[in-house]
């Protein structure tokens, strides 16, 4: 059975062929759906499913193959999905919205009657295929990755607003919140006013990637040791890449912008990954007198003496 052809139409056609009738799917009743095994008649053992359809006294058994959902819909990064306003914590309620997302119709009977907790920490939902599904083999899982965070408010599902706490590295939407411990200096004040043009050929090679896990600086060899040494040669601070939590540590930091300074402020306005204090700092400390700027995010645990914020390295294309 194809995933892209109406299973209802196919079953209706099988019933009408067997009975010489002209019924529609709405006229028929699904009286049983079962996985076949050695106990079934030989003619039904070559397929994995037997469905019993009926109309009044007429009954037809149809053997066919239901499909494993993972072969058609699963992907490593998960299926990106936005919850509807009517979301209420019941998985079956998402069936028609899933169909609109991927272009294959889903009925509530396709999805197991599971529930999920709808709150601000919900990031993934696994939809299990129910035994009553006509198209899909039961037990399969469709993993949904939510693209936003949601909450129930007055019975309506709504996206969580971005909430600012205006303390270092305190935000709630799509991030973990960390508290500021001890007295730490702002890395922006250490770096934003320096001219890093002498090491421009090194800074230019710090790449910005879409995937967070691939852009961490943590190798500790080659370029990743050259980078802190080069920065330290300009500003005189003891930058390093160390596996231990220590001062001026670039370990597990990542580049968020590396390009013309003219575009840096626009990037800061568009991104949702900046809390209010960082946004104001970026807007005021990005200096258009320089050609380019590299903005990196420090890791809040690995760098023990600086606030969990950004470092800003200005440089020119030529000396």
Structural domain of 233: 187-315
Q: What is the mean pLDDT of the chain?
A: 83
Among residues 70, 31, 68, 69, the alpha carbon closest in space to that of 51 is found at 31
**Which helix (H) or strand (E) element contains residue 59?**
strand 58-64
In a domain? residue 296: yes
Rounded to two decimals, the pTM is 0.51
- Whether 203 and 119 share a structural domain: no
Q: Does 208 reside within a domain?
A: yes
Residue 178 within any structural domain of the chain: no
Among residues 289, 281, 301, the alpha carbon closest in space to that of 261 is found at 289
Rounded to an integer, the average pLDDT of 147-159 is 87
Higher-scoring residue by pLDDT: 105, 15: 15
* Sequence-ordered list of residues with C-beta below 8 angstroms from that of 307, at least 6 positions apart, any chain: 168, 169, 180, 184, 185, 186, 187, 298
CA-to-CA distance for 136 and 107, rounded, in angstroms?
11
Query: Of 138-152, 160-174, 265-279, 305-319, which gets the smallest average pLDDT?
Result: 160-174
Radius of gyration of the chain (CA): 29
pLDDT at 166: 44
- Residues 196 and 310 grouped into a single domain: yes
Q: Determine, yes or no, domain membership for 43.
A: yes
How many whole angstroms separate alpha carbon 287 and alpha carbon 5?
Answer: 58
Asked if residue 43 and residue 75 are part of one domain, the reply reads no
At 239 the pLDDT is 94
| Same domain assignment for residues 123 and 24 | no
Say if residue 120 is in the same domain as residue 228. Answer: no
Same domain, yes or no: 201 and 135: no
* Same domain, residue pair 194 and 301: yes
CA distance 301 to 44: 61
Pair (52, 138) in one structural domain: no
Same domain, 95 and 54: no
- End-of-domain residue from the set 159, 177, 201: 159
On the question of pLDDT at 152 being above 70, the answer is: yes
Judge contact between 105 and 4, C-beta under 8 A: no
Structure tokens at 255: 């580049």
Q: Residue 284 domain-assigned?
A: yes
CA distance 93 to 116: 11
Query: In the block, which residue shows the tokens 């807007």?
Result: 283
Nearest to 205 by CA among 310, 294, 318, 297: 294
Same domain? For 120 and 89 the reply is yes
**Both 35 and 127 in a single domain?**
no
Query: How many domains does one find in the chain?
Result: 3
Kindly report, residue by residue over 178-203, the tens digit of the pLDDT.
444 556 777 777 888 899 999 999 99
114: exposed, middle or buried (C-beta count within 10 Å: 0-12, 13-18, 19+)? middle
Place of tokens 């009657």: 113
Residue 167 lies in a domain: no
Q: Are 60 and 125 contained in the same domain? A: no
Asked whether residue 166 is domain-assigned, the answer is no
pLDDT digits (tens, 9 = 90+) for 233-248: 999 999 999 988 999 9
Residue 81 lies in a domain: yes
């Amino acid at each position: 059975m194809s995933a892209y052809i109406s299973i209802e139409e196919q079953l209706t056609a099988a019933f009408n062929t067997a009975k010489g009738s002209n019924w529609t799917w709405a006229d028929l009743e699904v009286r049983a759906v079962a996985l076949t095994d050695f106990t079934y008649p030989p003619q039904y053992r070559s397929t994995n499913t037997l469905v019993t359809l009926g109309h009044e006294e007429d009954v037809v058994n149809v053997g066919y193959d239901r499909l494993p959902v993972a072969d058609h819909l699963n992907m490593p990064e998960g299926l990106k999905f936005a919850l509807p306003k009517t979301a209420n914590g019941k998985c079956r309620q998402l069936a028609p919205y899933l169909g609109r997302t991927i272009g294959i119709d889903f009925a509530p009977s396709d999805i197991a009657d599971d529930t999920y907790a709808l709150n601000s920490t919900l990031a993934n939902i696994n939809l299990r295929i129910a035994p009553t599904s006509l198209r899909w083999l039961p037990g399969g899982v469709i993993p949904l990755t939510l693209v936003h965070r949601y909450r129930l408010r007055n019975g309506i599902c709504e996206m969580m607003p971005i909430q600012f706490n205006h303390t270092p590295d305190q935000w709630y939407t799509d991030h973990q919140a960390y508290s500021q411990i001890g007295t730490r200096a702002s890395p922006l004040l250490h770096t934003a006013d320096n001219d890093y043009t002498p090491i421009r050929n090194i800074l230019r090679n710090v790449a910005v990637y879409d995937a967070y896990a691939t852009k961490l600086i943590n190798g500790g060899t080659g370029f990743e040791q050259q980078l802190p040494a080069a920065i330290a040669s300009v500003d005189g601070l003891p930058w390093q890449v160390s596996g231990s939590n220590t001062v001026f540590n670039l370990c597990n930091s990542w580049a968020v912008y590396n390009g013309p300074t003219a575009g840096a402020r626009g990037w800061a306005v568009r991104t949702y990954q900046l809390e209010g204090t960082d946004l104001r700092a970026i807007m005021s400390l990005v200096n258009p007198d320089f050609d380019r700027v590299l903005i990196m995010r420090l890791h809040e645990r690995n760098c023990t003496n600086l606030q969990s914020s950004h470092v800003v390295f200005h440089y020119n294309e030529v000396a």
